[in-house]
């Protein structure tokens, strides 16, 4: 176990792809533990970790994101938010949050969203005089809304791993998502007031009307998705495919999407999908080894021996997950940890949907915590801000996110009222 952990860390630091780090560690562990017979079944296990209907949403959300960027949908969502809140003190920072909320109702992944928005938002904020670190950190933080406001890849993965209803998870994500968005807005208002940012002219009514008119087709994407899911036309997983088709049509309507874009979109989709799904395949191999050794059970037993109180238990879990999130990718952690915690919930009387929201938000925050934080890397690379500077700039956003996480943890009704109301 110690040797395997050491190898794990060394490989990580050597810049070996994280998915392969998981695979190599698993294989070395199996060899060391003398169960070499298990290795013969490794490729099969690698394969069948992917044979999962819920995972289909991943490439399709990626594709939808690419189509929306190429088709001018993202740009129009931002223009529209600008005419709404652009005139407030710190206007563009709010635009960033609101555009991310709109985008989040279409896209299901934080990293996809951070990548999309870093390219568009950071340069325009910088042009208006915001520091680049602040612009990049606002974009990265607001991107966290992606998997919290439905639809959400993380919720789908949680549903698949725990057996909880994905539809309920989607509904339960709405209030926490809005709460987090509002919390970010409050932080921006506070910073803006302290630093005395300038205010701008309100957009003339004609301009508001025009940009609203322009954004209608773009807003059709989330409307069609939500209406389609609620009316039973399609399942949440299928909604990702519908999002692509609608984004394709809208992009053509805007006359921005061209045939020649399509091959690039598909190739980018393949590569960005694989960075996640390869990780899932390898994490499955890793998790399978843990199951064989019954390690999740021993961790779970140890955790439950600490307390009988559900609130204390949730506190410990949150701290534990925040630490895990610092070092591990959220999706991989979700896949490995859900089977550990899911069986414990009943004895503590914790609702699996509530717990799902907690674990997903917690691990999403991990995207922005160093040393391992995909969201942080993407924002830093795409907006050209040194990682150290970005990390410093993002601390207030992290503090707000963690505070929101604890509100959500200790106020289950806030999470559960929508799914319960619709039952």
Residues between 364 and 393 that touch other proteins (CB under 8 A): 370-372, 374, 377, 387
Would you count residue 224 as binding other proteins (CB under 8 A)?
A: no
Residue choice 113, 269, 364, 409 for contact with other proteins (CB under 8 A): 269
377-406: which residues touch Na ion (CB under 5 A)? Answer: none
347-366: which residues touch Na ion (CB under 5 A)? Answer: 366
Cβ pair 386, 130 in contact under 8 A:
no
Would you count residue 146 as binding other proteins (CB under 8 A)?
A: no
Phi-psi region of 294 (alpha: psi -120 to 50; beta: other; left: phi over 0): left
Task: For residues 237 and 224, give the distance between their C-alpha atoms in angstroms, rounded to a whole number.
Answer: 14
Nearest-approach distance from CB 207 to other proteins, in angstroms:
36
Residue choice 81, 135, 237, 369 for contact with Na ion (CB under 5 A): 369
Nearer to other proteins, 103 or 278 (CB): 278
Nearest-approach distance from CB 402 to other proteins, in angstroms:
22
Cβ pair 80, 94 in contact under 8 A:
no
Q: How far is CA 206 from CA 94, 210, 234, in A?
A: 21, 6, 38
Residue choice 238, 256, 261, 315 for contact with other proteins (CB under 8 A): 238
Would you count residue 168 as binding other proteins (CB under 8 A)?
A: yes
Q: How far is CA 131 from CA 81, 86, 197, 212, 388, in A?
A: 21, 17, 12, 29, 15
Going by C-alpha positions, the residue among 14, 13, 38 that lies closest to residue 28 is 38
Evaluated on CA atoms 344, 51, 273, 44, the torsion sign reads positive
Nearest-approach distance from CB 233 to other proteins, in angstroms:
5
Count of chain residues binding other proteins (CB under 8 A): 92
Residue choice 87, 128, 131, 167 for contact with other proteins (CB under 8 A): 167
Other C-beta atoms lying within 10 Å of the C-beta of residue 339: 16
1-40: which residues touch other proteins (CB under 8 A)? Answer: 11-20, 23-24, 27, 34-40
Task: For residues 330 and 363, give the distance between their C-alpha atoms in angstroms, rounded to a whole number.
Answer: 5
Would you count residue 326 as binding Na ion (CB under 5 A)?
A: yes
272-291: which residues touch other proteins (CB under 8 A)? Answer: 272-275, 277-279, 281, 284, 288, 291
Question: Which letter does DSSP use for residue 202 in this model?
Answer: P
Residue choice 194, 201, 205, 232 for contact with other proteins (CB under 8 A): 232
Task: For residues 72 and 65, give the distance between their C-alpha atoms in angstroms, rounded to a whole number.
Answer: 11
Stretch that binds other proteins, among 50-58, 84-92, 116-124, 193-201 (CB under 8 A): 50-58
The residues of the shown chain that bind Na ion, judged by CB under 5 A, are 104, 108, 149, 152, 325-326, 366, 369, 372-373
């Amino acid at each position: 176990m110690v040797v395997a952990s050491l190898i794990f860390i060394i490989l990580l630091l050597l810049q070996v792809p994280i998915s392969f780090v998981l695979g190599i560690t698993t294989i070395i562990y199996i060899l060391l533990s003398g169960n070499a017979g298990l290795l013969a079944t490794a490729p099969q296990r690698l394969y069948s970790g992917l044979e999962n209907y819920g995972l289909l949403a991943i490439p399709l959300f990626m594709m939808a994101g690419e189509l929306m960027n190429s088709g001018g949908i993202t740009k129009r969502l931002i223009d529209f938010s600008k005419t709404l809140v652009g005139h407030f003190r710190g206007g563009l920072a709010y635009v960033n949050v609101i555009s991310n909320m709109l985008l989040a109702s279409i896209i299901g992944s934080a990293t996809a969203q951070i990548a999309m928005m870093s390219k568009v938002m950071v340069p325009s904020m910088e042009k208006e005089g915001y520091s680049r670190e602040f612009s990049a950190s606002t974009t990265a933080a607001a991107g966290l809304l992606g998997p919290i406001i439905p639809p959400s890849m993380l919720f789908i993965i949680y549903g698949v791993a725990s057996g909880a209803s994905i539809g309920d998870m989607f509904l339960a994500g709405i209030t926490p998502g809005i709460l987090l968005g509002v919390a970010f807005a409050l932080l921006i208002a506070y910073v803006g007031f302290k630093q005395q940012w300038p205010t701008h002219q309100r957009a003339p009514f004609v301009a508001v009307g025009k940009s609203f008119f322009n954004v209608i087709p773009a807003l059709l994407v989330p409307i069609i998705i939500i209406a389609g899911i609620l009316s039973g036309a399609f399942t949440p997983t299928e909604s990702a495919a519908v999002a692509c088709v609608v984004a394709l049509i809208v992009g053509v309507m805007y006359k921005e999407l061209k045939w020649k874009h399509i091959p690039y979109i598909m190739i980018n989709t393949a590569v960005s999908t694989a960075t996640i799904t390869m990780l899932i395949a390898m994490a499955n191999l890793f998790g399978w080894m843990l199951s064989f050794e019954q390690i999740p059970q021993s961790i779970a037993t140890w955790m439950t021996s600490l307390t009988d109180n559900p609130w204390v238990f949730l506190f410990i879990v949150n701290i534990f997950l925040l630490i895990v999130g610092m070092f591990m990718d959220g999706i991989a952690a979700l896949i490995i940890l859900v089977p550990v915690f899911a069986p414990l919930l009943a004895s503590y009387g914790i609702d699996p949907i509530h717990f799902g929201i907690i674990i997903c938000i917690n691990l999403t925050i991990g995207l922005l915590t160093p040393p391992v934080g995909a969201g942080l890397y993407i924002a830093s690379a795409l907006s050209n801000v040194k990682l150290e500077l970005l990390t410093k700039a993002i601390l207030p956003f992290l503090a707000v996110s963690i505070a929101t996480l604890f509100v959500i943890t200790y106020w289950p009704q806030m999470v559960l009222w929508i799914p319960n109301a619709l039952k």
